[in-house]
């Protein structure tokens, strides 16, 4: 029988895993917590949050870099029946402020260097006031508790946390912002009902002693926010990189014996191109997991060879909670051309309007499961648009299903363009161009054209010493792509622009392509 709340998972993990390290800072051996210490810290931090007025039904915003404070404060808020909204600390103050205002939190907790602008928007006429607490992660758990005001006498005695609220599967626990590449991000709400479903799919509630992993993204992303319970069930040790770099990640893999390497395609590509790759001992790696954005077949094949380990592709969207993936024992052609099959309990469909598409026919990708969000925070109209009438999540992606029901992605709805009446999907063009020996990274977007309406503009990061021209690219791809799919403009760049979530910023590329028409 699954636990009825995440607080019960914390308690059970402490009982089962005890003195095993749960989280550790990769660059500081003195900053680490055992599972038993996690449970104690959650109680102390819950008392501190309660002293700041946080209680059942409230919202807490965390604007923190990757560190021990993030998961502990998230669990402490859940202990009180409050929901946590995570905001990527890499966003600017101008980007963070409307997100905080949307949440209308009781409390905002930020690192000292990231407080700018948060207090100002709290006093604006457009939002209710909230408190902003600056914390210093280097002070450790005791410092966090002290910053929250949980000491109730001069001797430093920690006040007791109030009794936990009654279990409620629909009470919000995590608020995850979408990527926001087309405007202010939406806030997707997940209650214990969804988190329990995600944990069931991921772990089957089989308590174990897991391997060694690494936190490679912001805790504010969907995975870390909704999979904390699963992490506690697995009983592994997660090393947290305060600042991810390819050199730091490769050094950690060798030193800590990381068994599962994960990341978005941009991060994996940086690992493969780093000069340290060849001299590091990567023998501990049992699997590489790639997700968060489309990956080219070339990248996936190179990854498998470099790490000498199976590569698994993961696919979902924020609103769906969880989605599909390939398996470690899938053939190479499946791993490189599909995003696999739905996880247990997840359904996938490809539709043109209300009609299910035939195998091989491109349409809109839909997902349905018990893990799908409750809805967007305080936005019923957007919530209605996110779901079909029969409960499917509109992912915003287009693709097709093959005869085995594996999903092939063609790109984002709206990323494709029409050249002279012919549809072109960028992922197909990018997959071919990525095989060019002189190309390190490539992205293709639409550019306006007086004759054809839209044409493809390729943005290319060349390998050192490679001399590339548009004719070279068209000649290389000409026997694999129809003429209307070949790029008709070339921009040689030092790097492809990324969003704070390490995803390709196609909007920025379109702006450059349009400006150079």
Q: Which of 78-87, 129-138, 228-237 has the lowest mean pLDDT?
A: 129-138
CATH of domain 417-515: 3.30.300.30
Q: What is the mean pLDDT of the chain?
A: 90
When pLDDT is cut at 50, 70 and 90, the band that residue 45 belongs to is: very high
When pLDDT is cut at 50, 70 and 90, the band that residue 304 belongs to is: very high
When pLDDT is cut at 50, 70 and 90, the band that residue 150 belongs to is: low
Side-chain-side CA neighbours of 494 within 13 Å: the count stands at 0
- Are residues 176 and 198 in contact, defined by beta-carbon separation less than 8 angstroms? no
As a whole number, mean pLDDT of residues 458-470 equals 93
Distance from C-alpha of 227 to C-alpha of 224, rounded to nearest angstrom: 5
Task: Select the more confidently predicted residue: 130 or 84.
Answer: 84
Which residue intervals of the chain bear CATH 3.40.50.980?
Answer: 6-226
Greatest alpha-carbon pair distance for the chain in Å reads 78
Beta bridge pairs of residue 85: 61, 175
What's the distance, CA 65 to chain centroid? 14
Among the listed residues 76, 16, 344, the one whose alpha carbon sits nearest the alpha carbon of residue 199: 344
With a pLDDT cut of 70, the percent of the chain lying above it is: 94
- Are residues 82 and 106 in contact, defined by beta-carbon separation less than 8 angstroms? yes
Identify the DSSP state of 361.
-
Q: Does the pLDDT value for residue 126 go beyond 50?
A: no
Identify the DSSP state of 261.
E
Domain boundaries 242-374+382-412, CATH class: alpha beta
pLDDT for position 127: 47
Among the listed residues 275, 280, 272, the one whose alpha carbon sits nearest the alpha carbon of residue 441: 272
pLDDT for position 119: 55
Q: Does the pLDDT value for residue 185 go beyond 90?
A: no
As a whole number, mean pLDDT of residues 321-345 equals 95
Contacts 24+ apart (CB under 8 A), 180-187: 181/499, 181/503, 181/505, 181/506, 181/507, 182/507, 184/98, 184/99, 184/102, 185/99, 186/376, 186/377, 186/379, 186/382, 187/85, 187/99, 187/102, 187/103, 187/376, 187/377, 187/379
Which residue intervals of the chain bear CATH 3.30.300.30?
Answer: 417-515
Among the listed residues 44, 39, 37, the one whose alpha carbon sits nearest the alpha carbon of residue 152: 44
3-state secondary structure of 326: coil
Q: Which of 113-122, 342-351, 463-472 has the lowest mean pLDDT?
A: 113-122
CATH of domain 6-226: 3.40.50.980
Task: Select the more confidently predicted residue: 388 or 410.
Answer: 388
When pLDDT is cut at 50, 70 and 90, the band that residue 179 belongs to is: confident
pLDDT for position 125: 38
For residue range 436-447, list pLDDT tens digits in order.
Answer: 999 999 999 999
pLDDT for position 173: 98
Which residue intervals of the chain bear CATH 3.40.50.12780?
Answer: 242-374+382-412
Q: Which of 227-241, 262-276, 349-363 has the lowest mean pLDDT?
A: 262-276
For residue range 186-215, list pLDDT tens digits in order.
Answer: 999 999 999 999 999 999 999 998 899 999
């Amino acid at each position: 029988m699954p636990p009825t709340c995440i607080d019960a998972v914390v308690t059970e993990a402490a009982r089962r895993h005890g003195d095993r390290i749960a989280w550790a800072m990769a660059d500081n051996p003195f900053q680490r917590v055992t599972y038993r210490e996690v449970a104690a810290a959650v109680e102390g931090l819950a008392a501190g949050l309660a002293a700041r007025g946080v209680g059942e039904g409230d919202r807490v915003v965390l604007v923190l870099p990757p560190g021990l404070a993030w998961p502990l404060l998230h669990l402490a808020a859940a202990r009180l029946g409050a929901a946590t909204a995570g905001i990527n600390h890499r966003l600017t103050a101008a980007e963070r402020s409307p997100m905080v205002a949307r949440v209308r939190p009781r409390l905002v907790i930020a690192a000292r260097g990231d407080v700018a602008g948060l207090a100002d928007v709290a006093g604006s006429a457009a939002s209710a006031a909230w408190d902003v607490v600056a914390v210093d992660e280097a002070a450790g758990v005791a410092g966090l508790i002290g910053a929250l005001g949980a000491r109730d006498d001069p001797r430093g005695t920690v006040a007791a946390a109030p009794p936990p609220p009654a279990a409620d599967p629909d009470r919000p626990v995590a608020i995850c912002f979408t990527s926001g590449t087309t405007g202010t991000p939406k806030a997707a709400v997940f209650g214990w009902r969804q988190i329990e479903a995600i944990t069931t799919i991921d772990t089957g509630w089989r308590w174990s002693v897991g391997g060694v992993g690494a936190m490679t993204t912001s805790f504010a992303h969907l995975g870390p926010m909704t999979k904390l319970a699963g992490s506690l069930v697995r009983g592994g040790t997660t090393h947290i990189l305060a600042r991810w770099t390819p050199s730091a990640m490769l050094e950690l893999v060798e030193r800590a014996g990381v068994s599962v390497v994960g990341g978005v395609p941009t991060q994996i590509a940086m690992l493969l191109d780093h000069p340290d790759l060849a001299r590091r001992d990567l023998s501990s790696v049992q699997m590489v997991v790639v997700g968060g954005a489309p990956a080219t077949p070339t990248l996936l094949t190179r990854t498998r060879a470099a790490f000498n380990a199976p590569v698994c592709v993961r696919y979902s969207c924020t609103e769906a909670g969880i989605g599909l993936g390939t398996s470690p024992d899938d053939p190479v052609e499946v791993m490189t051309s599909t995003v696999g099959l739905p996880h247990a309990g997840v359904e996938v469909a490809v539709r043109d309007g209300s009609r299910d598409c035939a195998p091989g026919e491109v349409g809109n990708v839909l997902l349905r499961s018990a893990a799908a969000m409750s809805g967007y925070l305080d936005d019923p109209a957007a919530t209605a648009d996110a779901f079909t009438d029969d409960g499917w999540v509109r992912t915003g992606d287009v693709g097709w299903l093959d005869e085995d029901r594996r999903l092939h992605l063609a790109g984002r709805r709206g990323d494709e363009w029409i050249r002279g009446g012919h549809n072109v999907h960028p992922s197909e063009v990018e997959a071919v161009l990525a095989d060019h020996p002189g190309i390190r990274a490539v992205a293709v977007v639409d550019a306006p054209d007086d004759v054809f309406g839209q044409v493809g503009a390729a943005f290319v990061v060349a390998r050192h010493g490679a001399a590339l021209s548009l004719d070279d690219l068209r000649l290389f791809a000409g026997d694999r792509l129809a003429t209307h799919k070949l790029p008709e403009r070339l921009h040689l760049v030092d790097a492809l622009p990324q969003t704070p979530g390490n995803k390709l910023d196609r909007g920025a590329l379109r702006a450059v392509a349009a400006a150079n028409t």
